[in-house]
Amino acid sequence: MKLKISIVFTFVFLNFGLANASSGEEGEPFNAGEMIMHHISDSHEWHLWDGAYGTVPLPVILYSPDKGLDVFMSSKFDHGHASYNGYAYEDGHIVAEDGAEFYDFSITKNVASLLLTAIIILWIFLSVAKGYRKNKGQAPKGIQSFFEPIIMFVRDDIVKPNIGDKYEKYLPYLLTLFFFVWIGNMLGLTPGAANLTGNIAVTGVLAILTLILTLFSSKRYYWNHIFWPPGVPLPIKFIIIPVEIIGIFTKPFSLMIRLFVAITAGHIVLLSLLGLTFIFQSWAVGVGATLIVFLINLIELLVAAIQAYVFTLFSSMYIGMALEEHH
């Protein structure tokens, strides 16, 4: 019952937030593309709904070699102030009015969501560890009983079969990777949330971490297989070797693109369907679109877990291939 009520309220707030975000300036026609980009793009503020308390300002941290460090809240750009302290906010980006070079270390919406995801992961792991120490030798209770089977699934069905006997060394990273992607995907489906795992910079960093770990864990046989594939005729080697070298970089690239596209596409589909309500300005279309979105959102909950599974699975496979010994 609680789950059903939560789902209903989720879609009520989603439609409410979409209606406010899509209203735009008075008298302007509804722009579906602008609304969608507003929801999936990063921002220096966290907009939940229209009104005095519907937007959460975020810290802006700028460093200029000429002016030094500037720290202020993004609300300084609101209330008709197009610029503040020599900086202007244009189309979601901060620019220097004099064109000078500067570095932006601001806590944007995606960064805030990343920190929130990290806090949730820490809370989960610390709570499970505390429950394990407290209930050692007994059946798990509370939050431990929910997450322990998931942790064991990642260990026994993803990491161990693909890496082998040396899996324990890489288990902390791969567990963190799984929960980071999963929780980030789930948070992205809540009303007003940031598109964290749909940001290619985030998925790119995750893929680079897997690449670095793979390269630094690689054995001699891994490089021999790339630069001189065994059992391959000599003329074919000159075709296979460039393909293998390119494959070193295409593997993490596929990790980055797969997660980015799957999450971003899901958000675009959901927002596009809900936008039909304002395009046709019909309650019948609104009811139909909401029902379809409800069903798709259930699928997106499954996709959130599948993408975490796939990202962790392929990362384990790449690390396992680097650790493979010659038999």
> What are the boundaries of each domain within the chain?
59-106, 110-323
Please give the structure tokens belonging to residue 295.
Answer: 């069903």
Dist. CA 23–CA 17, nearest whole Å = 10
Q: Is 229 helix (H, G, I), strand (E, B) or coil?
A: coil
Q: How far apart are CA 250 and CA 254, in angstroms?
A: 6
Task: Report which of 312, 88, 69 is spatially closest to residue 185, judged by C-alpha positions.
Answer: 312
> How remote is the C-alpha of 323 from its chain's centroid?
28
Burial of 15 (0-12, 13-18, 19+ CB in 10 A): middle
pLDDT at 59: 92
Residues 6+ apart with CB under 8 A from 295: none
Q: Is 73 helix (H, G, I), strand (E, B) or coil?
A: strand
226 touches 241 (CB < 8 A): yes
Structure tokens at 170: 């890489």
pLDDT for 8: 42
Query: Pairing state of beta strands 93-96 and 87-90?
Result: antiparallel
Asked if residue 304 lies in contact with residue 184, where contact means CB atoms within 8 angstroms, the answer is no
Alpha carbon distance 174, 64 (integer Å): 38
Kindly give the confidence (pLDDT) of every residue in the chain, 327 residues in length, as a single tens digit, with 9 standing for 90 and above.
Answer: 434 444 444 444 444 444 444 444 455 677 777 778 878 888 888 877 766 677 888 999 999 988 889 998 888 887 545 688 888 888 778 888 888 889 999 999 999 999 999 999 999 999 998 888 888 878 888 888 899 999 999 999 999 999 988 899 999 999 999 999 999 999 998 887 889 999 999 999 999 999 999 999 888 888 888 888 888 888 888 888 999 899 999 999 999 999 999 999 998 988 888 888 888 888 888 888 889 988 998 999 999 999 999 999 999 999 999 987 655
What is the spatial distance between Cα 269 and Cα 288, in angstroms, rounded to a whole number? 15
Q: Give the pLDDT confidence score for residue 9 in this predicted structure.
A: 40
Tokens representing residue 70 in the block: 């500037």
Report the pLDDT value the prediction gives residue 51, as an integer from 0 to 100.
64
